[in-house]
Amino acid sequence: MLSQLRAWGDRLRSSLFFVPMLCVIGGVLLGEAMLVVDALVTGIDPRLTATVDSARTVLTTVAGATLTFAGIAFSVSLLLISLASSQYSPRVVHGMFRDPFNKRVMGLVIGTFTYCLVVLRAVRGALEDAGDAVVPSVSILLAVVLGIVSILSIVAFINHGAHSMDVSKILRRVTDEVLTQARSAWPEPEPESSGVEQGESPPLPEGAAAVRFATYGWVQNVDYDVLLSVLPPGATVRLDTFAGQYAIQHTPICHISPVPDDIADIAEAVRAAVMVGETRTLQQDMAYGVRQLSDVALKAMSPGINDPTTAHDAMSHLGTVLADLLSRQAPSRRLSGRDGLVLMVPHATTYEELVGIAFDEVRIASAEQPTVLIYLLDVLHHIEQSLAGLHRPSAALALRSQAELIRAMNETADVPEPDRERVRVAYARRYRDDFHPESGPTSDTARPVDLDGVG
C-alpha cells in the first residue's frame, strides 16, 4: 500500500494540473471569505473605497490580465519543454513538469483570475435587484494586490525559465532526483568491506504456473511487500518483470511453483501489486536516471550537435550518481516470506548494468573524440576511487573494463597519432597494474588527476 501511495504521489508531482486546480479552489474560497469580511467591516478609509463602475473595471481588468498571463506561462513552459527535448533528450523533460516554481506561478495567476470572478459576481448597483449597492472594497483591494503579484510572478517565471535551460541545472536536477530516489529504493552503504553483492537465483522447478500481464505499458513499481503477503506460503516464485521494463499483454509477470489451488485469485492480487503506467519513472528504476544523463551525453556527441563540453558535464553528473549507487547495497535477487516462501528476482538491477548503461553507448559514440575519451577515463577513475574500502568487485571490474575498452578503442580509432598518444598517456596516469577487484582500488591509485591539458 505504501508503494502504491508513493506511485500516486509521483504522478501528482509530475502533473501540471493538480497545483493550479488547488489554487482555483483556493481562489473560490478566498473570494467567498473576503466577501464575508467586507460585510463585517465598517468605517473604511474613503481612499480605499470604490464605486460600482470602478469596482467592475478593476476586477475585469485584473481577471483578463491574469488569464493572459496564464496563457503566457503555459506557452513558455511548452516552449522550454520542446527546446529541452530537442537539444538535450526527451527523457529530461519529464522532470521539468515537476518544477514546483512553474506550477506555483500558474496556480497563482489562475487562482487570482478565479478570485476576481467570485468577487465580481457579488458587485451590484443600487438600481439592481436587491436595491442596495454592494461594493466589496476590501476584496477589490486584495484583487489589486493579487494582480500586481501575478505580474511580478510572470516576470520571475520568465527569468526562471531562461535560467532553467542551462544544461548544468538540468543535469543537476536529474542528479538530485536520482540521489533522492536512491535513498528510499536502495539500502544505505554497508560498513567498510562488509557489503554482500547479489547472488544468482536458482532455477525454477518445472510445471510452474505463469501469471501474465492483462495490460501494457511501463512497469513503474513492484510492491514486494504486497507480493510476499499474497503469494502462497511455501511456494517458489520467480518474478519475470522489473521496474523499468515495458510490459506487453499476456507476457509473464511471474511463475509460481507448485501451482496453488486459488491461482486465479492470486493472479489478480499479483497484478495489483505491479503498477503499470504510460511513462517510465524513477520510483524503483535507478537505471532510468542513469539513462537520462547518458542520453544527454549521447545527444551532445551526435554529429548534428557535436558539443563535447556538454558531454563532459553529463558524464561528470553520471560520475556523481554512479559513485552513490555503486556504494549502496544493490537490490536482493532473493526475498523470503512466510513458511518458506521464496521470491526470486533475477532481473534486479546490477552494478554491471548501471555501468554499462552509463558508459557503453557514450564510449562508442566518442571513439574518434580523444578529448571525450580522456573525460571518460577521468570520470571512471574518480568513481573507482570513491569505492575504496568497499567490497564491490563486480562494480570495480565493470569500471576497469570500460577503461580497458577505451584504451583498445583508441588504438583503432581513425585519429592522428598525437591524439592517440594523448589518450594513452591519460590512461597510464590514471591506472596502474596493481589493481585487485576483490578489495577495490588501493590508496596508491588515489593521486591527483589532471585533464591532460584538456579544457
Q: Is the pLDDT of residue 353 over 90?
A: yes
- Give the mean model confidence (pLDDT) for residues 214-227: 92
pLDDT given for residue 11 in this prediction: 66
Residue 157 banded pLDDT, cuts 50, 70, 90: confident
The segment with the largest mean pLDDT, out of 47-61, 183-197, 271-285, is 271-285
Q: Is the pLDDT of residue 196 over 50?
A: no
Tell me what percent of the chain is helix, strand and coil, each rounded to the nearest 5: 60, 10, 30
Question: Whole-angstrom Cα distance, residue 331 to residue 350?
Answer: 8
Q: Is the pLDDT of residue 7 over 80?
A: no
**Helix ranges restricted to H, 165-242:** 167-185, 224-230
C-alpha distance from residue 37 to each of 9, 23, 30, 219, 372 (Å): 36, 20, 10, 51, 65
- Give the mean model confidence (pLDDT) for residues 103-116: 90
The pTM is what?
0.76
Q: Is the pLDDT of residue 96 over 70?
A: no
pLDDT given for residue 191 in this prediction: 52
Q: Which tens digit of pLDDT belongs to each residue from 389-406?
A: 888 889 999 999 999 999
pLDDT given for residue 450 in this prediction: 42
pLDDT given for residue 447 in this prediction: 40
The segment with the largest mean pLDDT, out of 2-6, 60-64, 443-447, is 60-64
CATH superfamily of 209-277: Pyrimidine nucleoside phosphorylase-like, C-terminal domain (3.90.1170.30)
pLDDT given for residue 42 in this prediction: 63
The segment with the largest mean pLDDT, out of 8-17, 194-203, 403-412, is 403-412
3 state DSSP class of 137? helix
345 vs 338, higher pLDDT: 345
pLDDT given for residue 6 in this prediction: 64
Q: Which residues pair with 238 in a beta bridge?
A: 255, 344
Q: Is the pLDDT of residue 36 over 70?
A: yes
Residue 151 banded pLDDT, cuts 50, 70, 90: confident
3 state DSSP class of 207? coil
Residue 337 banded pLDDT, cuts 50, 70, 90: confident
- Give the mean model confidence (pLDDT) for residues 261-283: 90
**Which stretch of 216-225, 253-262, 444-453 has the lowest confidence by average pLDDT?**
444-453
Cβ–Cβ under 8 Å, residues 168 and 308? no
Angle at 70 between CA 64 and CA 76, to 5 degrees: 140
